[in-house]
């Protein structure tokens, strides 16, 4: 009878440990803005422009994975660059703050032109992790941006992020699990005697 109670107690502790903190986790986020002009110019001129505008948000419940638009990319194509031979690459760090903790999104992109059509090709930014203490570890992964091409129009696209949290079990859950394992060990030792 006693051993069944201990097994039930241990099973409930393991289940609580596996489920972690299923309670609601709320975050707020914001970011910096960025603007660049003269993209693709082999010499100073008024060629293409790229802008990143932050889209702050929250409170956002991240107790289960959720996606949101965090920034707006704007690509403005200027005078067509029919003689531009360069295909410059850019690495733009953009501050991104979650619950007061700031990390940087590493936005990598390359400019190119085929004459009438100018293109910005983006690499998917690397994921970020935020340690929210007892609330868990917040993982932020970013959507694939691909490319923005235009022969003169203004192009816009959202940078999206998926937020997911890895909960940290309560200390009492660990204590309960250890007590159950200890009781199982005690019973097993007693049966051998």
pLDDT digit string (tens) for 118-130? Answer: 899 999 999 999 9
Band of residue 22 on the pLDDT scale cut at 50, 70, 90: very low
| Residue 85: predicted pLDDT | 76
Is there a contact between 127 and 137 (Cβ–Cβ < 8 Å)?
no
CA distance 193 to 189: 7
Mean pLDDT to the nearest integer, 21-37: 85
pLDDT digit string (tens) for 160-192? Answer: 999 999 887 656 655 666 767 776 876 777 777
The count of C-alpha atoms lying within 13 angstroms of the C-alpha of 48, restricted to the half-sphere facing its C-beta, is 33
Q: What is the pTM of this model?
A: 0.74
Residues comprising the chain, all counted: 193
- Per DSSP bridges, beta strands 57-61 and 128-131 are unpaired
Residue 76 has pLDDT above 80, yes or no: yes
What tokens were used for 129?
């992790």
Residues 8, 9, 12, 17, CA torsion sign: negative
């Amino acid at each position: 009878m006693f051993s069944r109670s201990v097994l039930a107690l241990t099973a409930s502790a393991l289940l609580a440990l596996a489920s972690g903190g299923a309670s609601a986790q709320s975050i707020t986020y914001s970011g910096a803005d960025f603007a660049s002009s003269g993209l693709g110019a082999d010499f100073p001129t008024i060629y293409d422009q790229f802008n990143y505008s932050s889209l702050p948000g929250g409170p956002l419940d991240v107790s289960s994975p959720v996606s949101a638009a965090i920034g707006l990319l704007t690509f403005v194509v200027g005078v067509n660059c029919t003689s531009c031979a360069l295909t410059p690459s850019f690495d733009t760090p953009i501050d991104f703050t979650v619950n007061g903790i700031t990390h940087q999104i590493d936005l990598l992109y390359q400019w190119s032109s085929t004459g009438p059509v100018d293109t910005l090709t983006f690499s998917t930014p690397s994921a970020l992790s935020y340690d929210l203490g007892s609330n868990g570890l917040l993982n932020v992964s970013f959507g694939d941006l691909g490319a923005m091409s235009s022969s003169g129009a203004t192009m816009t696209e959202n940078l999206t992020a998926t937020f997911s949290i890895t909960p940290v079990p309560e200390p009492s859950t660990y204590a309960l699990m250890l007590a159950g394992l200890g009781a199982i060990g005690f019973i097993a030792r007693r049966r051998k005697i």
